[in-house]
Amino acid sequence: MAKYETVIGLEVHVELKTLTKIFCPSSTTFGGDPNTHVCPVCLGLPGVLPVMNKKVLEYAIRVGLALNCQIAAFSKFDRKNYYYPDLPKNYQISQYDLPIAEHGHLNVELDGVEKRVGITRVHMEEDAGKLVHQGTISTTPYTLVDYNRTGVPLVEIVSDPDLRSPEEARAYLEKLKAIIQYTGVSDCKMEEGSLRCDANISVRPAGSTTLGTKAEIKNMNSFKALQRALHYEVERQIEVLEEGGRVVQETRTWDEAKGVTLSMRSKEHAHDYRYLPDPDLVPMVIDRGWVEEIRSALPELPDQRKDRYVREYGLPEYDAAVITSSKEMADYFERCLSGYANAKSVSNWVMGDLTRLLNAGGMEITRCRIAPDQLAGMLRLLDSGTISGKIAKTVFEEMFETGKDPDSIVKEKGLVQISDQGAIEAAVDQALAANPKVVEDFRAGKEKALGFLVGQVMKVTRGKANPEMVNSIIREKLR
């Protein structure tokens, strides 16, 4: 049993993909020339006032429901006061003590074990702008401010400190991302900043029930970084304690290049944000009927979809879980099924070769050149015996590279499987004649020799012979 227990809680910010910002009609479109998606309100000019975008509230409720939270009957916005150049008003409009949703959970599966992780709260807030330094923040001679992102709507999702390992934390984040993608309120792309994650992590002697001093870890920009950073931090904290020291409550940044966390500032004296209810916005009374409408309009969520795949398609739990872990993959899978009914086959190809090629190419399934109906088409060719399983792999890779139809590829490359009895017999005769010693070995009882002979026939036929037929014809001839 390990000497120390790790305790992790994650704070995740998700950008909601409404058309306009949370408190003004400026565009939320990602990118764009600096300071072109702005207006007096999100610039915080003197005299301006915020006006709530109702879609943001709807999306936040959707997230709360998808995470099994209680939706507040009465909620409000508060001002979080602090100074920073990316915050035009020097306060952020956020939610303090009456968040839109609380007390939820989601289920995380890791190594075959399912665990429920608590969600403390979900609240709405506005994003800040972006600082553009010339180099690093400490060496730059000047900094430019781009306010395009100011006022983009965010939900902040805080987990209970229920996570017990970096792997569990990663699995939680992956599940959370999938759930939110499924609700349709965000693309959840860490590389674009629409999904951001900070972690609170502490260690304590195994068996202890009091929490150790926590550090906040920021700047983890990928799932892998999250895992690496948390591993590093656990080791670091244990080392501090083993040497008789105290863990300092502070914010630390993950340095990807160096592979370490570095202290940013001391959180021992926590920042006093002087929260007050925002007097420019009226509180919200949330109609129960509306919440139920949103609930009934919720799209099928990952766990439900997984269960449906098991039920309707007879997929094993594991396959169903992998396929539904990303909405794009699950959608792709189902579109394949509209052209080809064997769910397990589709699942094997998607989980196997497709995922392998996507990872090698560093691309998302949405950029895949193989259209779902093309994959279905290939599987039909396989079924009909037009191509063998081995040929199919070649065809598949060609489809992935070029996006061409399987039929075209098979035709162009002359990959149609040879299933003509006579042609195969001729090839078998050729192979047997060329390898008398191996024939002897087979007749003497060495089964392995058969494989060699099959391989020789394949060579002669350039891999196109129907392997089952080759097998049975050889056996027939050598009986």
Partner 1 sequence: MDLLYTPAHELQRGLAARQISAGELCRAVLARIDKLDEKLRAFITVTPELALSQAGEVDRRIAAGEELPPLAGIPVAVKDVICTRGVRTTCASRILHNFVPPYNATVMEKIMARGMVMVGKTNMDEFAMGSSNENSGYYPASNPWDTQRVPGGSSGGSAVAVAAGMAVLALGSDTGGSIRQPASFCGVVGLKPTYGAVSRYGLVAYASSLDQIGPIAGNVADCALLLSAIAGYDPLDSTSAPGERPDYTKSLNQEIRGLKVGVPREYMGEGIDPGVRGVIDGALKVLASLGAEIEEVSLPHSKYAIPAYYLIATAEASSNLARYDGVSYGYRVEDPGDVVDMYMKSRSRGFGAEVKRRIMLGTFALSAGYYDAYYLKALKVRTLIKQDFDRAFEKYDVLICPTTPSTAFRKGEKVDDPLQMYLSDITTISANLAGIPGISVPAGFSGGLPVGMQIMGRPFGEGDLLRVAHAFEQATGHHKRRPEL
Binding residues for partner 1, rule: CB under 8 A, are: 40, 43-52, 79, 81, 83, 85, 88-91, 145, 272, 274-276, 279-282
If the CB atoms of residues 211 and 282 are measured against partner 1, the closer one turns out to be 282
Which amino acid makes up residue 124?
M
Q: Please, which contacts does 258-263 make with residues 24 or more away whose CB atoms are closer than 8 Å?
A: 259/228, 259/232, 260/232, 260/236, 261/215, 261/217, 261/229, 261/232, 261/233, 261/236
Q: Closest separation between CB of residue 43 and partner 1, Å?
A: 7
Q: Closest separation between CB of residue 341 and partner 1, Å?
A: 54
If the CB atoms of residues 52 and 190 are measured against partner 1, the closer one turns out to be 52
Q: Please list, in sequence order, all residues whose beta carbon lies within 8 angstroms of the beta carbon of residue 26, skipping any fewer than 6 positions away.
A: 20, 37, 38, 39, 41, 42, 151
Secondary structure element (H or E) that encloses residue 304, with its range: helix 302-313
Q: Closest separation between CB of residue 148 and partner 1, Å?
A: 14
Which amino acid makes up residue 286?
I
If the CB atoms of residues 47 and 207 are measured against partner 1, the closer one turns out to be 47
If the CB atoms of residues 74 and 422 are measured against partner 1, the closer one turns out to be 74
Q: Closest separation between CB of residue 212 and partner 1, Å?
A: 24
Q: Closest separation between CB of residue 97 and partner 1, Å?
A: 11
If the CB atoms of residues 52 and 321 are measured against partner 1, the closer one turns out to be 52
If the CB atoms of residues 35 and 221 are measured against partner 1, the closer one turns out to be 35
The runs of H, that is alpha helices, within 340-420 are: 343-349, 355-361, 372-383, 389-402, 406-412
If the CB atoms of residues 205 and 283 are measured against partner 1, the closer one turns out to be 283
Q: Closest separation between CB of residue 51 and partner 1, Å?
A: 5
Q: Closest separation between CB of residue 275 and partner 1, Å?
A: 8
Q: Please, which contacts does 321-327 make with residues 24 or more away whose CB atoms are closer than 8 Å?
A: 321/109, 322/351, 323/347, 323/350, 323/351, 324/178, 325/174, 325/175, 325/178, 326/178, 326/181, 326/365, 327/178, 327/181, 327/182, 327/302
Q: Closest separation between CB of residue 80 and partner 1, Å?
A: 10
Whole-number Cα distances in Å, 390 to 54, 115, 394, 458, 475: 55, 40, 7, 11, 21
If the CB atoms of residues 223 and 275 are measured against partner 1, the closer one turns out to be 275
